[in-house]
């Protein structure tokens, strides 16, 4: 018995093989924003701590966690001298902070814009357990994200951030955790771009554990491979994105201590094997490193021999703010000293992202460990 062959119908000449996710104008806007954020000598101040996380910071200096105290602290940051913009290109805000004003009634967003600093916004809603895994997690917040992004864009935000976390132990990160978190980040990135926001993609491999440097490098390579496959699958415009990865460091409980140069080599190898050249920039998270270690490691990475296809800079929270908080202590008379700490730390990291940091910049939080086990925002 024979069957007739299916008739081949050629595709009309005017039908595209690949759908275009963004217009040329949208791509140009995203590319311009992304490149401005990673301009030479500049990086990001991550001031997007949630109410709970900010409460822990304030508790450390004996200040009550109220909306007014949180506002006052952010005012300290955002009313710092305009010279801050020489090294800070963007600031990531929390939802609450996006709508707040300084004591004179000026919106925080306008304060930043007037300094030439680009406002950004954290859009995820925190990590939650990932069922069927060994204490792994994913990040929630995709429901209603498009509407929120559209509103944030109207309020002046030009980029966004979403954090996922992966853990290293004998059995993790699992395949499920890597593919789930990669797809969540890719979906977020696509939604952001449709609404004119540059997505910062943050697949953080946590430093918790006893693993060595080689293990951290291999896991980071795996995570990046999953991530960029997912971004490709979701038709994300890479030239209009930024990556916020961990530096490759051994676990906090590892008995072997590795040098700054060893950390730099492992980090560069992982990035070179996993991040496409189309990505404009790498904006490292500090990952619980001390202020000085985060700066020295950034400098060592930028001093690594050879050329990178991407700008390599910082998106630091604790490593830019620890000395600010220590100097401020919730007192008006300490505002100038706290702002001086921010300028000093921003300048040090601005030098480090050009491989020009000489070291030795001491802050009010000198030597303080910033590591928080299982860190969640």
Catalytic residue ranges: 202, 244
Residue from 368, 364, 353 nearest 327 by CA:
364
Q: How far apart are the first and last CA of the chain?
A: 66
Alpha carbon distance 215, 211 (integer Å): 6
Spatial contact of 46 and 89, defined as CB atoms under 8 Å apart: no
Run of H or E including 313 = strand 311-316
- 62: its two tokens: 């004996």
Distance from CA of residue 189 to its chain's centroid? 13
Residue from 341, 347, 343, 284 nearest 317 by CA:
284
The answer for residues whose C-beta is within 8 angstroms of residue 186's C-beta and 6 or more apart is 227, 230, 231, 233, 234, 236
CB count in 10 Å sphere of residue 1: 2
Alpha carbon distance 136, 134 (integer Å): 6
CB count in 10 Å sphere of residue 338: 23
Q: Which residues pair with 205 in a beta bridge?
A: 166
Spatial contact of 225 and 199, defined as CB atoms under 8 Å apart: no
The per-residue DSSP string of 81-123 comes to: -GGGGGTEEEEEE-HHHHT-B-TTS-BHHHHHHHTTPEEEEE-
């Amino acid at each position: 018995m024979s069957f007739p062959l299916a008739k081949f119908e050629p595709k009309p000449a005017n039908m595209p093989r690949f759908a275009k996710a963004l217009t040329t104008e949208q791509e140009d806007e995203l590319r311009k924003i992304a490149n401005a954020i990673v301009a030479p000598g500049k990086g990001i101040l991550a001031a997007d701590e949630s109410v709970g996380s900010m409460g822990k910071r304030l508790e450390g200096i004996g200040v009550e966690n109220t909306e007014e105290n949180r506002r006052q602290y952010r005012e300290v940051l955002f009313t710092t001298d305009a010279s801050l913009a020489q090294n800070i290109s963007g600031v990531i805000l929390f939802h609450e902070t996006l709508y707040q004003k300084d004591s004179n009634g000026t919106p925080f967003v306008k304060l930043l814009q007037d300094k030439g600093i680009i406002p950004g916004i954290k859009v995820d809603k925190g990590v939650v357990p990932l069922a069927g895994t060994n204490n792994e997690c994913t990040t929630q917040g995709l429901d209603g994200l498009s509407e929120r992004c559209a509103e944030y864009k109207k309020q002046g935000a030009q980029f966004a951030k979403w954090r996922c976390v992966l853990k290293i132990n004998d059995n993790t990160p699992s395949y499920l955790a890597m593919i789930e978190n990669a797809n969540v980040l890719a979906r977020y990135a696509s939604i952001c771009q449709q609404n004119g926001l540059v997505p910062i993609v943050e697949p953080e491999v946590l430093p918790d554990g006893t693993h060595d440097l080689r293990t951290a490098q291999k896991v980071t390579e795996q995570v990046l491979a999953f991530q960029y496959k997912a971004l490709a699958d979701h038709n994300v415009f890479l030239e209009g994105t930024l990556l916020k990865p961990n530096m490759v460091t051994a676990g906090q409980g590892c008995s072997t201590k590795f040098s700054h140069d060893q950390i730099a080599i492992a980090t560069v190898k992982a990035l070179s094997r996993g991040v496409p050249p189309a990505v404009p920039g790498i904006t490292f998270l500090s990952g619980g490193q001390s202020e000085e270690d985060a700066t020295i490691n950034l400098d060592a990475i930028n001093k690594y021999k050879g050329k990178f296809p991407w700008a390599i800079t910082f998106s630091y929270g604790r490593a830019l703010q620890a000395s600010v908080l220590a100097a401020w202590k919730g007192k008006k008379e300490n505002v100038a000293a706290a702002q001086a700490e921010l300028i000093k730390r921003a300048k040090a990291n601005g030098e480090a992202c050009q491989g020009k940091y000489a070291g030795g910049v001491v802050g009010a939080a000198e030597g303080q460990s910033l590591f928080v086990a299982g860190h969640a925002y």
